[in-house]
Amino acid sequence: MTQITNKQLGQLRLETISDGVGSTTTNFIESARGAMLRDVEGKEYIDFAGGIGVMNIGHCHPKVVAAIQEQAEKLTHTCFMVNPYESAVKLAEKLCRIAPGDSPKKTAFLNCGAEAVENAVKIARYYTKRPAIIVFENGYHGRTLLTMTMTSKVKPYKFGFGPFAPEIYRMPFGDVAGPEKLHDFFLKQVNPEAVAAVVAEPVQGEGGFIAPPPGYFQELVKICRDNGILFVADEIQSGMGRTGKMFAIEHWGVEPDLITVAKSLAAGMPLAAVVGRAEIMDAVHAWGLGGTYGGNPVACAAALAVLEVFEEENMLAKSVALGEKLKARFEKWQKQFDIIGEIRGLGAMLGLELVKGENREPAADEAKQLTSYCLEKGLILLSCGSYGNIIRVLAPFVITDEQLEKGLGIVEEGLAKIA
Ligand SMILES: Cc1ncc(COP(=O)(O)O)c(C=O)c1O
């Protein structure tokens, strides 16, 4: 049998998949392991994208694969709302235990990140009996009607898709004066008594790997508490060890009222959760939350295996080590290449800002050239940011030193070419 090619599959894709769905690369991936991908023609790639932050513990971890296989042989679906099963409650127990803060917690399972954010908003509105939600510039929360409204960047996420959901208010993020500005915001934009929740990514992902300064969240959360507003941490990209702690908000030592988790939670199986203070999670009437597939048994079994792997293989330490290696290299590049502006992010959620000209303007074209060069050389590298000029690394923590070195070497060559 002749092997199918990227070109043939590309043609099929062109004929069958909506043009509204994009792909960064044109290579069809057949298999993956750890931090490596292999396409249908046998070409290998080092993966610095991890399926956009989903493969923190690596592709096809043997323990996760075994858990999926074992669960799939026993039971793949009942719908938790019809017949409950063990993997969901065992996983909820673990998530409630690892969620930041001492208050008793409860969990609700959904399928994807956007759905988790939607449900966090539903829960916050129900509990507070208030309509308004505050989000941030450069924030990203998904592509459903409500979450694209909450998302900041217009193109490609919002353009042409309005009208948007009501009662979403946006403020600046990440400058030390941010919480101070909230007082002003309450005067000019929305009365705090109407606000159900502030929803923030502890480290902004799609918006450009922006970490706010020390003290920011402590102050923000204090203002929320003083005004009866819930604080929701969207940990969908920053969570599951990415910043060196299980949840990025732990760096600021505050307890969110609700957190949203997805992506690396189940290492590629579609699973998301809202985990939050039990009193708030329990406020909603029975059947008010749920869905056909939320907390699917196979996805929950995968997530249980992921959490075991975190403990057994010291994934947080691996994440910290990866973050340190990346930072050291990025700092070297910053001195070497004029095109590099800020080093962004936290831990192993690290990005490079590319800038050009006297005014250090965003160098989006150069970011595209860099990611294309890397792809050609066998490295999957993503950009992000409102201006598309941030190069971000979401590599699996299990990447070997050799793979990391090779990948960074390719980026370095690419930087030399575009600089
Ligand atoms: C912070 C954040 N929230 C929500 C989402 C939406 O998740 P999903 O694509 O699974 O709906 C994402 C996805 O990138 C994200 O990074």
CA distance 261 to 263: 7
pLDDT tops 80 at residue 181: no
Q: Which residues, in sequence order, are CB contacts of 217 under 8 Å at separation 6+?
A: 200, 202, 249, 252, 254
Label each residue of 295-352 as H, E or C: CCHHHHHHHHHHHHHHHHCCHHHHHHHHHHHHHHHHHHHHHHCCCEEEEEEECCEEEE
Ligand 1 close to Cβ of residue 235 (< 6 A): no
Q: State the burial class of residue 271 (Cβ atoms within 10 Å of its Cβ: 0-12, 13-18, 19+).
A: buried
Ligand 1 close to Cβ of residue 339 (< 6 A): no
Going by pLDDT thresholds of 50, 70 and 90, the confidence category of residue 178 is low
Tell me what pLDDT residue 185 has: 87
CA distance 275 to 265: 12
Ligand 1 close to Cβ of residue 264 (< 6 A): no
Task: Give the tokens for residue 300.
Answer: 């929950």
Give tens-digit pLDDT for 63-102.
999 999 999 999 999 999 999 999 999 999 999 999 999 9
Ligand 1 close to Cβ of residue 268 (< 6 A): no
- Counting from 1 in the atom list of ligand 1, the atom nearest the Cα of 144 is 11
- Counting from 1 in the atom list of ligand 1, the atom nearest the Cα of 139 is 1
Taking the whole predicted model, whether its pTM rises above 0.85 is answered as: yes
147 CA distance to ligand 1 centroid (A)? 9
CA distance 249 to 256: 8
Task: Give the tokens for residue 82.
Answer: 């019809």
114 CA distance to ligand 1 centroid (A)? 6
Tell me what pLDDT residue 175 has: 62
Please name the residue whose Cα sits nearest to atom 7 of ligand 1: 113
2-16, 128-142, 146-160, 176-190, range with the lowest pLDDT: 176-190
Ligand 1 close to Cβ of residue 117 (< 6 A): yes
Report the pLDDT averaged over residues 185-204. Answer: 95
2 CA distance to ligand 1 centroid (A)? 38
Report the pLDDT averaged over residues 103-132. Answer: 98
Ligand 1 close to Cβ of residue 201 (< 6 A): yes
Going by pLDDT thresholds of 50, 70 and 90, the confidence category of residue 125 is very high
pLDDT tops 70 at residue 176: no
Ligand 1 close to Cβ of residue 51 (< 6 A): no
Tell me what pLDDT residue 183 has: 78
Going by pLDDT thresholds of 50, 70 and 90, the confidence category of residue 419 is confident
Ligand 1 close to Cβ of residue 141 (< 6 A): yes
CA distance 368 to 374: 10
Give tens-digit pLDDT for 369-402.
999 999 999 999 999 999 999 999 999 999 999 9
Give tens-digit pLDDT for 251-263.
999 999 999 999 9
